[in-house]
Structure 1
């Protein structure tokens, strides 16, 4: 979920490991635009509004919290007429035009969320139709339409396709050679590093200008989920038999093998408990968001035992990061807890769900609970006084009866 495009963007990222879409700069802590009613988070939504809203609502839904209607309405209202989403539209009354930068990451994230929430079939269908229309010939997707494919964007789109009931293996571009079309699985297999190489099993974000592949931990986590045909919300997979190891093939790797190889790399990379930051000059600095992504990927692939160490590290260290980073970070941790089968209400002593809910409009469940409590208080108040009144009246009646009996018994 921590998708980033270049070193320039990485250098511009202030909040380490915050969940942000590819090429999105980190939101300013002092918003330059007004925070819309219904949006989660208090930072500038220009670059991540749809992304953080999608993750927040999806995390709530995953733990059986019904999001506020206005929060869902805000997200649905961000969609353009062609089905695409931009990172943020300040004025939705104005039609999307060529100046608005629409992107695959925001569109795919919103599609996954709206599909999960239900009641938005038309919006999801339009989003997926647009995504399929901008698929590259290599089978993948870039951040913007026509941009070079990258593993993270491709994987988040796979999640949207699956959420909409599509089969990613059958969603193919025209093919780079003009012949057979390429699917997103073809691209992910192509960018999986061979096992004998350094960082074998990892996936690259995308090739460099010379076509060389370099391991990228967050791209690997995204690629594992994409190869498994899973989105942001995943459950633990079946544990692989024997020792998890990287394996090559003379033929193009099957998606399951790409995922297994990527998980083997992540298991090794998280031996210290966390993934290190990709920021230049921050070699030993932990990346909380990428570590959460690795936990989800490992558990989803079936390597839950390997995911326990980084998950325990997150429980001990990540709550301060989430508090600083906002709703998307809380959502990442909640989704990690969900995949691990643990309780996000007790994440190292922190109720992640409560903290997430506090960053935006009160969920409907909370609203109903509050109303029910108010009604109960009202009923209780009425009930108490009504009961007191009944006993007073009854007491008076009993007094009259006793008084009457006493009088009758007098000689």
Structure 2
């Protein structure tokens, strides 16, 4: 959900020409604001949006929509206005009136997150279809996606794109490369086999290493469980598993098997310690709040509500300072975790997450406001004027994911210790 996205981690980098550019921030926060960077009035957050503007905006709008809030029109317009003519989104465009060109660093993660948010809000079908078309056009031969077009496939990017394809009404499994490979094929190849050896069994790797080996990555696993389930950044709890999680051995796991295996790995990590740890070389182990929230979403989606209780209680007690520092994407992650588990986000460990998120951006529209912020709502008013009692409720069984929110390769390429 979603993404987006956790505590101290290594920021991923994207190779653009000869420059190494940070793809996004791992904990949902942004780089420190710079004097020359003015924050647009429609944008959530007060820190420099260069690397996460679209991502954090998408998560914020998704979270508000999920809890029944009506986002400010200018917040929605800002996000929609970031789209390039070819359908793609960059992490942030300071001047959205200027046409995108070859130097515009568009990416799959920002595009997929924006698609999920705009599809949920409704009234942006043309833009979301064009964005989905661009995503399909840059699919890799193995069926997956990298952070940038043509980049090597990774579990996070592939998963958040799956969520976008599902949000626009498509069937991700039917989106195949010229070689006939689907996103689920790509994710299966990143699943660590359940061969009974080692603590990594069932996990997903971010990408294979230089030798082709798969190393467990908790961030990638949380994302890939949702991707393998065909879900996006927003989800509700799946059917409870009667016998708990198992790690099923298979030469080539199905998407369902890979999702269950990944969830079993996350459940094992959270069995003794109710939070996941971030691993930054040279730094002490410390709680990874965002990844813990993402893991809760993934476990709930796979039917592991029982396994979410301890980490959710831990987040309710301990995540306040992290969210305050990290900003809108962090609050959104917590809201999506609460939503997935049926927890009240307005009473999350004594904190009203909805209010806290709202305070980081433009005020949501009052319930019942006469102002319509989307084309779909304008159509509602026109229908009412004709005596037609029809309300267009446009939503997506988005699951939430990313960035990242969890998911999102742009957040990090960290490895779990």
Place the TM-score, normalised by the shorter chain, in its bin: 0.7 to 0.9
Instruction: Determine the C-alpha separation between the residues in 2 that align with 1:161 and 1:170.
Output: 10
Instruction: Flag the structure with higher helix content.
Output: 1
Instruction: Determine the C-alpha separation between the residues in 1 that align with 2:242 and 2:36.
Output: 53
TM-score, normalising length from structure 1?
Answer: 0.83
Check whether the contact 1:246–1:261 (CA below 8 A) recurs between aligned residues: yes
Matched residue, 1:375: none
Structure 1 residue 262 and structure 2 residue 271: aligned? no
TM-score, normalising length from structure 2?
Answer: 0.82
Matched residue, 1:118: 122
Matched residue, 2:197: 197
Written as runs of structure 1 = structure 2, the 5 A alignment for 1:10-409 is 18-19=27-28, 26-30=30-34, 32-175=36-179, 181-195=180-194, 196-198=196-198, 199-250=200-251, 252-271=252-271, 272-365=273-366, 368=369
Q: Output one character per residue of 1:57-102: Cα deviation in whole Å (capped at 9) or x when no partner.
A: 0000000000000000000000000000000011111100111100
Instruction: Determine the C-alpha separation between the residues in 2 that align with 1:330 and 1:228.
Output: 24
Instruction: Determine the C-alpha separation between the residues in 2 that align with 1:31 and 1:189.
Output: 45
Matched residue, 1:373: none
- CA distance 1:31–1:329, change in 2 (3 Å): farther
What is the deviation of 1:31?
A: 5.6
Number of residue equivalences: 355
Instruction: Determine the C-alpha separation between the residues in 2 that align with 1:202 and 1:241.
Output: 21
What is the deviation of 1:365?
A: 2.1
Q: Helix, strand or coil: the match of 2:286? A: coil
Check whether the contact 2:204–2:218 (CA below 8 A) recurs between aligned residues: yes
Q: Helix, strand or coil: the match of 1:205? A: coil
Check whether the contact 2:11–2:26 (CA below 8 A) recurs between aligned residues: no
Instruction: Determine the C-alpha separation between the residues in 2 that align with 1:260 and 1:306.
Output: 13
Instruction: Report the more deviating stretch, 360-369 or 48-57.
Output: 360-369
- CA distance 1:153–1:143, change in 2 (3 Å): same
Q: Output one character per residue of 1:42-71: Cα deviation in whole Å (capped at 9) or x when no partner.
A: 000000000000000000000000000000
Check whether the contact 2:193–2:250 (CA below 8 A) recurs between aligned residues: no
Q: Output one character per residue of 1:134-166: Cα deviation in whole Å (capped at 9) or x when no partner.
A: 000010000000111100000000000000011
Instruction: Determine the C-alpha separation between the residues in 1 that align with 2:10 and 2:45.
Output: 25
Check whether the contact 1:234–1:296 (CA below 8 A) recurs between aligned residues: yes
Instruction: Determine the C-alpha separation between the residues in 2 that align with 1:16 and 1:307.
Output: 25
